[in-house]
Structure 1
Amino acid sequence: MKKINITYLIMLVATVILSSCLGDLDVEPIDPNDATSNNVFKDELAYKEALAKIYASYAISGQDGDGGGNPDIAGIDENFGNYLRQYWGLQQLSTDEAIIAWDDATIKNFHWQTWSPNDVFIAALYSRIFYTVTIANEFIRNADDALGSASGTFASDLEAYKAEARFLRAFSYWHAIDMFGNVPFITESDLPGAFFPQQIERADLFNYIESELLDMEMSLPAAGTNEYARADRGAAWMLLAKLYLNAEVYTGTERNTDALTYLNNVIAASYSIDPTYENVFRADNNLSSEIIFPLAFDGTNTQQYGGMTFLLHASNGGGMPLNGIDGGWGGIRGIKDLADKFDASAGDFSSADPEFSTIADQRGMFYYDPSSWVWDITNVGTFTEGVGVTKFKNISSDGGPAPNAHPTFVSTDFPVFRLGDAYLMYAEAVVRGGSGGSLSTAVNYVNDLRERAYGDASGNIVASELTLDFLLDERGRELYWEGHRRTDLIRFGQFTNGSYIWEWKGNVQTGATTDSYRDLYPIPSNDLNANPNLVQNDGYPQ
Structure 2
Amino acid sequence: MKKLTIKIGTTCLAALVLASMSCTKLNEKVYGSKEVRAASNGSSGDLGGVYSQLNGQSNQANTYALQEHPTDEMMGPTRGTDWGDFGTWRKLHTHTWDAFHNQVNDTWDELNTGVYRATQVINASGVTNQVKGEASFLRAYFMFEVVDLYGQAPFRDPAGSVDAIPTVYNRSAATDFIIKDLEFAEANLGTPTDIGHAGKAAAQALLAKVYLNKAVYKATTVGGPFTFDAADMNKVIGYCNAVTAAGFHLNGPGKYFDNFSWDNTTLSTEIIFGRINTSTNAPANTHNRWRMGMHYNQSPSSWNGFTTLADFYHSFEASDERIGGTYPKLTEYNGLRTGFLIGQQYGPGNVALKQRGGQPLIFTPDVNLNYSTEAQGIRVIKYFPQPKPDGSVNDDYATNTYILLRYSDVLLMKAEAIMRGGTDPNGQTALGIVNNLRTTRGATALGSLTAANLLAERGRELYYEGWRRNDLIRFEKFNDPVDQRPNKTDKTRTLYPIPQRAVDTNPNLKQNAGY
CA contact (8 A) 1:180 1:522 kept: yes
Of 378, 382, 385, the match for 1:391? 382
Contact 2:295–2:304 (CA under 8 A) maintained in structure 1: yes
Tell me what 1:51 maps to.
47
Code of the aligned partner of 1:133? V
**If the length of structure 2 is used for normalisation, what is the TM-score?**
0.79
- Match of 1:113, SS state, is coil
Instruction: Judge conservation of contact 2:70–2:92 (CA < 8 Å) in 1.
Output: yes
In 1, distance between residues paired with 2:249 and 2:265? 14
Deviation (angstroms), 1:490: 0.1
Match of 1:472 in 2: 455
% identity of equivalent residues? 29
Q: Which residue of 1 aligns with 2:72?
A: 96
1:258 Cα offset (Å): 1.3
Query: What residue ranges of structure 2 are gaps of 5+ in the alignment?
Result: 16-32, 78-82, 220-226, 328-336, 345-359
Letter in 1 for 2:257: E
2:364 maps to 374
Residues 379, 385 of structure 1: 8 Å contact kept: no
Of 410, 416, 440, the match for 1:452: 440
The answer on whether the counterparts of 1:59 and 1:296 sit within 8 Å (CA) in structure 2 is: no
Q: Is the 8 A contact 1:342 1:364 kept in 2?
A: no
Task: Return the alpha-carbon distance in structure 1 between the equivalents of residues 293 and 425 of structure 2.
Answer: 38
Tell me the equivalent position of 2:25. none
Distance 1:441 1:90, change over 3 A: same
> Counterpart of 1:493?
476
Q: What's the offset of the Cα at 1:20?
A: 3.8
Task: Note if contact 2:257-2:338 (Cα within 8 Å) is conserved in structure 1.
Answer: no
Cross-structure match for 1:295: 275
Q: What are the Cα deviations for residues 109-131 of structure 1, in whole angstroms up to 9, with x where unaligned?
A: 11111111100011111110011
Amino acid at match of 2:117: I
One-letter identity of the residue aligned with 2:453? F
Write the distance in 1 (CA, Å) between the matches of 2:197 and 2:294. 30
Scaled by the length of structure 1, the TM-score of the pair is 0.75
Alpha-carbon displacement from aligned partner over 1:382-414 (angstroms, at most 9, x marks no partner): 342221112211228xx9899xx7343422222
Q: Once the 2 structures are TM-superposed, how far is the Cα of residue 355 of structure 1 from its aligned partner?
A: 7.0
In the alignment, is the contact (CA less than 8 A) between 1:186 and 1:197 conserved in 2?
yes
Q: Amino acid of the residue matched to residue 178 of structure 2?
A: I
Structure 2 SS opposite 1:48: coil
Q: How does 1:146-157 map to 2 (within 5 A)?
A: 146-147=126-127
3-state SS in 1 of match to 2:107: helix
Say whether the 8 Å CA contact 1:430–1:437 is kept in structure 2. no
Choose the corresponding residue for 1:209, options 169, 178, 190: 178
Which residue of the other structure, out of 91, 106, 111, is the alignment partner of 1:129? Answer: 111
Counterparts of 1:33-44 in structure 2 under 5 Å?
Answer: none
Where does residue 153 of structure 2 map in the other structure?
A: 183
Residues 416-451 of structure 1, C-alpha deviation per residue, up to 9 Å, x if partnerless? 111111111111111111123577443332222212
Give how far 1:309 is off: 2.5
8 Å Cα contact 2:385-2:395 kept in structure 1: no
Residue 214 of structure 2 corresponds to residue 247 of structure 1: yes
CA distance in 2, matches of 1:213, 1:355: 35
User: Would the aligned equivalents of 2:136 and 2:181 in 1 still touch at CA under 8 Å?
Assistant: yes
* Partner of residue 190 from structure 2, selected from 210, 215, 221: 221
In the alignment, residue 522 of structure 1 is paired with which amino acid? P
Question: For structure 1, which segment, 284-293 or 213-222, has the greater mean C-alpha deviation from structure 2 after superposition?
Answer: 213-222
Q: Does 1:162 align with 2:107?
A: no
Distance 1:26 1:518 in 2: 30
304, 307, 311: which one aligns with 2:289: 311
- Cα deviation for residue 535 of structure 1 reads 0.6
Question: Do the aligned partners of 2:63 and 2:107 also contact (CA within 8 Å) in 1?
Answer: yes
Matches within 5 A, 1:232-381: 232-252=199-219, 254=228, 255-275=232-252, 276-287=255-266, 288-302=268-282, 308-317=286-295, 322=299, 326-343=300-317, 365-369=339-343, 372-381=362-371
- Which 5+ residue runs of structure 1 have no aligned equivalent? 1-15, 28-34, 62-81, 148-157, 345-353, 506-510
Distance 1:417 1:243, change over 3 A: same
- The aligned length equals 444
Aligned residue for 2:62, secondary structure, equals helix
Q: Kindly indicate whether the alpha-carbon contact (under 8 Å) linking 1:173 and 1:209 is maintained by their aligned counterparts in 2.
A: yes
Instruction: Report the CA distance shift for 1:514/1:17 in structure 2 as closer, same or farther (over 3 A).
Output: closer
Contact 1:92/1:485, CA 8 A, preserved across alignment: yes
Deviations 1:327-365 (A, max 9, x none): 111011111021121157xxxxxxxxx97779xxxx982
Q: CA deviation at 1:40?
A: 6.9
CA contact (8 A) 1:313 1:327 kept: yes
SS at 1:213's partner residue? Answer: helix
Query: What is the DSSP-based 3-state SS (H/G/I as helix, E as strand, rest coil) of the residue aligned with 2:242?
Result: helix
Contact 1:85–1:310, Cα closer than 8 Å, also in 2: no
Of 141, 147, 160, 2:123 maps to 141
Q: Does 1:514 align with 2:492?
A: no
Tell me the equivalent position of 2:224: none
Counterpart in 2 of 1:67? none
Q: Distance in 1 between matches of 2:273 and 2:428?
A: 28
1:99 is paired with a residue whose SS is coil
- Secondary structure of the structure 1 residue equivalent to 2:403: strand
The one-letter code sitting in structure 2 at the alignment partner of 1:328 is S
**1:70 maps to which residue?**
none
1:435/1:461 CA distance change after superposition, 3 Å:
same
